[in-house]
Chain A
């Protein structure tokens, strides 16, 4: 099993892209703000190197088992990144926004059900069960991430919660990649992941190109500083100060009434 020139190019491009992003995350001190995202990028570097090594030295089956193991790790880390981004938006004050807590639980539960149903529908024409599981797993993860990102957008708009620039850039990249991934994985579930089949190969190239594009987008946006948040106008600050005093006064009166 020898990789083609194009596959080698994607491998190298992916490795260089991930290393650059890893560099940006540490040099620009974004790693402490996004530990799960940093872990995802680190895992991707390890995965690229490991799979390249296994590809050249081990059997086909060993390669697929390794690929499958990394795919599970990738899905787990991507879900952790979704949690990380959600907590930055909905728990910016250290406490989950109460008006989205129940909605988030419903969203997660509903999204898992819908993604499972969608992934169970096609029967990928693969020779081994592992490959069938891999195709369905990829479709499931793409569908789930798409749903979660759209749900996050909906909740943040409804609850009027702001998106920090870096958070929104990460979410945009992952959301876009998941949407393209949903379409390419749907294709793979119909055609199977066969290198010799032109459509299947083109779908893989499309997904790889999208991921490289997202990597470039993250490198640029994470290198740049987020715009400074707007300052509270002096008049509003005074109003809040007065309101706080008034509340404290009313609270004392209420406590007095209780006794």
Chain B
């Protein structure tokens, strides 16, 4: 005869076995997927990219660097003020999204490197540039903690955005140059 205690035991056992089988199957399928796509699927890498307003990024970046990527030295009437930069980028939240996107950009170039070894130099450079963006944003985080964000925001944020913008141009140029599949999707995403 099934008592209430046995019933509870059977329910607990069913939950336990289901949890074990689910976890086991999930990790087994994950390992199979890793074997098939050791560097991840291109679509999955692209999905990790957070959509940001590219016009705003370009506007902030072009205010800081010229067409060749060199830092502007001359004063211009059209220079953006700190409040405009803050609004365009979406404050610290927007910068954190750019930071995450930088890692995705490195992965996108590294993905190409698997069958296009010439991309190695670009991957290495992108890694360094991603570190640079991280460093600028880390400075801003420190300034935020010390209550001095307003003093430093324009300087570090604009450098970070400009670097990110140049990174996106490099990724697109690489994909176009090699005529790799997914250029259209990449252009839309970036």
Residues of A participating in the B interface, judged by any CB pair closer than 8 Å: 114, 117-118, 121-123, 143, 146-147, 150, 153-154, 156-158, 160, 179, 182-183, 186, 189-190, 235
Contact = CB atoms under 8 A, between A and B. Distances in A.
A186 B31 contact: no
Contacts of B28: 153, 157
Interface in B65-80: none
B97 to A, nearest CB: 26
Contacts of A118: 9, 12-13, 16
Nearest to A153: B27
B37 interface: no
Q: How large is the interface on B (under 10, 10 to 19, 20 to 34, 35 or more residues)?
A: 10 to 19
* 6 closest A-B pairs by CB: A121-B9, A157-B27, A122-B9, A157-B31, A154-B27, A153-B27
A156 B24 CA distance: 12
Contact of A122 (B6, B17, B27): B6
B121 to A, nearest CB: 13
25 contacts: A117-B12, A118-B9, A121-B5, A121-B8, A121-B9, A122-B5, A122-B9, A123-B5, A147-B20, A150-B23, A153-B24, A153-B28, A153-B31, A154-B27, A157-B28, A157-B31, A157-B34, A158-B27, A179-B17, A179-B20, A183-B17, A186-B9, A190-B6, A190-B9, A235-B117
B148 interface: no
Given A121-B12, A122-B9, A153-B27, 15 more contacts: A118-B9, A118-B12, A118-B13, A118-B16, A146-B20, A150-B20, A150-B23, A153-B24, A153-B28, A153-B31, A156-B31, A157-B28, A160-B34, A190-B6, A235-B117
B131 interface: no
Interface of B: 5-6, 8-10, 12-13, 16-17, 20, 23-24, 27-28, 30-31, 34, 117
B20 A157 contact: no
Contacts of B23: 150, 154
A143 B16 contact: yes
Contacts of B17: 179, 182-183
A183 B17 CA distance: 9
Contacts of A190: 6, 9
Nearest to A149: B24
A154 B28 CA distance: 8
A122 B9 CA distance: 6
B15 to A, nearest CB: 10
B16 A150 contact: no
A122 B6 CA distance: 6
Contacts of B117: 235
Contacts of A150: 20, 23-24, 27
Contacts of B5: 121-123
Nearest to B16: A118
B30 A157 contact: yes
A2 to B, nearest CB: 31
Nearest to A122: B9
Given A121-B8, A122-B6, A154-B23, A114 B31 contact: no
A190 B8 CA distance: 12
B32 to A, nearest CB: 10
A122 B64 CA distance: 71
A186 B8 CA distance: 12
Nearest to A155: B27
A163 B13 CA distance: 29
Given A157-B34, A182-B17, A189 B9 contact: yes
A147 B5 CA distance: 23
